[in-house]
Amino acid sequence: MTYIPINVAKAWLFACFLIFAAPVLAQDGTIYPLKAPAEPKAIPLGTGGVDGQKAPETWFRQWGDPMARNISSATLTPFLPAPGKANGTAVIVAPGGGFRWLSMDNEGWEVAKALADQGIAAFVLKYRLHPTPESLDDFKAWMEQPRTSPAASSNTTQSTTPPRPPQLDLSNQLEDAEAAYALILKRAKEWGVDTGRIGMIGFSAGAGLTMHATLNSKTMKLAFIGPIYGGMGPVEVPKNAPPMFNVIATDDFLFRGQFGVIDSWYKAGIPVEFHLYQNGGHGFGLGNPDRTSNRWFDAFMHWLNVNKFVTPKSGK
């Protein structure tokens, strides 16, 4: 099994699991059943199942977004640029959902389409998840349970209600990310990918997986990473860590005034760009109406361009 070291995980993954908190169901975020959409381009990664998983993969809709849970078979879905537009860069896109569900459109397909429009080959990773109750009613009841944590009990000034402590074992998720990376390498010529310019971005828990792969994978040589509204705690940065583009909003409950991961990258001498937006909340994907965070994707593309990650190689 692969575990995140406790000194790294406490600040990082605990934050990612905050999406279990009650506010996720507030206002009009009602959960509705959803028939599994067709995924004709999804490529099975063949990384196995999930120990103890009995419930089948099911989908639901919340905030207008299709969500998948109880995923026990990982897939990779390519979104390739139009012919003649590709610049050779590729990005693995990891949606979020606290490792219990995945926000497939808002933090997956929509992002991949936007990247492909910019000439980047994008690949949505539907990674394996920890199990949730099989019935939707039981899942809703589980979601609405009060959450407590050591952090809450040890800090009487904490204003948020954090969830139960996270499971730190990300063996399955790391294996899925590594398999996705290996598949892109294998089919790089077919997909028009420069193998030296494969990056990864993730949202919320997907940002946690992006960071976990960066810190722990022995096979992934990422050219750049983009953790988007993920945990902000400090980490131990590998010497060969890639440049990082990081985004979060001040009104995101994962922020909490922390700059640890930014400071870690800076002190390690690795290029880092950080955008702290006035507002945007959590889970904004490409953007919500009237939020300052809505320009983050433009900033990301500018960052990629300035760092020559999207400049077409000569002869292409």
- Report the mean per-residue pLDDT for the chain: 87
Shortest CA distance to 91 belongs to which of 236, 248, 203, 224?
224
Residue 10 pLDDT greater than 50, yes or no: no
Residue 127 · residue 112 · CB < 8 Å: no
Judge whether 184 lies within some domain: yes
Please report the pLDDT score of residue 18 as a whole number.
41
Mean pLDDT for 211-228 is: 98
CATH number at residue 87: 3.40.50.1820
Measured CA to CA in angstroms, residue 254 lies from 17, 167, 228, 244, 280 at distances of: 9, 17, 11, 18, 12
Could you tell me if residue 313 is inside a domain?
no
Q: pTM score > 0.85 for this model?
A: yes
Q: What's residue 31's pLDDT? A: 92
What is the pLDDT confidence band of residue 14, given thresholds at 50, 70 and 90? very low
- Under DSSP, the state recorded for 23 is G
Q: Is residue 312 part of a domain?
A: no
Q: Tell me which residue range forms the domain holding 302.
A: 6-306
Cβ atoms 89, 121 nearer than 8 A: yes
The amino acid sitting at 216 is N
Residue 1 lies in a domain: no
Q: Which residue has the higher pLDDT, 8 or 113?
A: 113
The number of folded domains in the chain is 1
Q: Is residue 15 part of a domain?
A: yes
Side-chain half-sphere of 245: how many Cα atoms within 13 Å? 23
User: Residues 21-56: pLDDT tens digits?
Assistant: 333 333 458 999 999 999 999 999 999 999 989 999
Cβ(241)–Cβ(267) under 8 Å? no
256 in a structural domain: yes
Q: Does any domain span residue 208?
A: yes
Domain assignment of residue 311, yes or no: no
